[in-house]
Structure 1
Amino acid sequence: MDWIRLPVGLLQTNAYVVYNKKGRCLIVDPGDEEKKIHQFVQKKKLKPQAVLLTHAHFDHIGAVDILREQYSIPAYIHQKEKKWLSNPLLNGSEKYEDVEPVVIKGADHLFSKEEKTAIDGFTFHVLETPGHSPGSVSFYFKESGLVIAGDTLFKGGIGRTDLKGGQEKELLKSIRDKLFSLPEDTYVLPGHDQVTTIGQEIKHNPFF
């Protein structure tokens, strides 16, 4: 399996496309710039299978409807944030003057617990990592040695907790219990900024 990081939108949120040798792919956190994502999919001649959302803040969900309609694919999110997709107050888009309120359709599938999930050739573990938001999840691709962590863990930082439903103690616990328990050579694909590893954050992250 391979992947690409595509920073998109006002906040330069990292959208990811993970793809395999069979030409299938998953689109993770398409927050904006659907054309940029589509161009990569076309270039690699990929066939999208689903949209995965680590959480429902506006900068991670803005292009969901356009992409899932374009490719006729389902969108997945944790059930705790199912109402956030259509509510600008919850997804944070109403907070920014230069951002149009983000309202998208409900998710097609809801995660309700930690589980091993298979989608058309892709197998990954859904890890519940709340704290940045109540329904934040991370997607752990064990065989590929990577975890897509959304806004839970960053290179040298952690997700903000001053938004709706954020809790710092819960966030730190999620990182310690769920992410720092992964192999140290696991790549961390965060929701913003550069890629890091679990080992690097255990040793150098100033919050721990």
Structure 2
Amino acid sequence: MRLEKIVENCMGENTYVVGDENSKKCIVVDPGANFIDIMNYVKKMNLIIEYIVLTHGHGDHITNVLTLKEATNAKIVAHEEEKEILQDKKKNLSASLPSNTVEFDADIYVKDNDTLKVGDMKLKFIHTPGHTPGSMCIKIDKHMLTGDTLFAGSIGRTDFYGGDYKKMEKSLEKLEKHDDDITIYPGHGPNSNLKIEKMTNPFMR
């Protein structure tokens, strides 16, 4: 597995390209970063984008979903509880951002603990509501893309449409049950691992 982080300059959003080195198939997670930067990396590594996977539907994470889909015909994957937000530019906050407004439907809606194969990689989807109703983490072996659920030393906001702090607490409890040696890749900020977050993150202690 090869994982690359591409950071969007304005909002500091992390887009991830995760590729299977054998098949060269890859996923793009939360394409809020510059479309050209994403495609340049994909072409440099000779990857084929099979899926666009969304940890959640906020505007800074979905800016280039439709552009990327048009260019690659990749299928969009999101949690079933995120459908309402994806389809409404006000609820997904893209209407209030300086970039383009975005409304769309995913091609594939998943549930908690659903899995998806991409080459030799097995993706497991973990429903973690709180930041949004359909927020989810994506676990691939000892790696977990946590979106705006869990950051290094913090968590995502719960005061936007569909946010719920009580649900966020339960989602964090769910993540606490996973192994300490899992590396986390948040939607904003630096990487971390679950051991560090369990020990030092005030929202997980």
Contact 2:14–2:33 under 8 Å retained in 1: no
Pick the aligned partner of 2:151 from 133, 154, 178. 154
Q: TM-score, normalised by structure 1?
A: 0.92
Q: Residue 65 of structure 1 contacts residue 104 of structure 1 at CA under 8 Å; is this kept in 2? A: no
Cα distance in 2 for partners of 1:193, 1:113 equals: 25
SS across alignment from 1:176: helix
**Identity of counterpart residues, as a percentage?**
32
Paired residues in the alignment total 203
Structure 2: stretches of 5+ with no match in the other structure: none
Q: Which residue of 2 aligns with 1:29?
A: 30
Pairwise CA distance, 1:112: 3.0
Please give the alpha-carbon distance, in whole angstroms, between the structure 1 residues aligned to 2:99 and 2:47: 30
Cα deviation digits, residues 117-137 of structure 1 (max 9, x gap): 223432121100000100001
Offset, 1:100: 4.0
- 1:193 matches 2:193: no
Deviation string for 1:151-176 (max 9, x for gaps)? 00000001111101111121121011
Paired with 2:88 and 2:202, the residues of 1 have a C-alpha distance of 34
Asked whether the 8 Å contact 1:64–1:104 carries over to 2, the reply is no
- Of residues 163, 180, 190, the one that matches 1:166 is 163
Instruction: Give per-residue Cα distances to partners, 1:159-201, cap 9 Å, x unaligned.
Output: 1111011111211210112x11111010000000000000000
CA distance in 1, matches of 2:182, 2:131: 21
Normalized against structure 2, the TM-score is what?
Answer: 0.94
Instruction: Note if 1:184 corresponds to 2:186.
Output: no
Give the CA RMSD over aligned residues: 1.4
Match of 1:202 among 154, 174, 198: 198
Structure 2 distance, partners of 1:193, 1:95, is 22
- SS state at 2:181 partner: coil
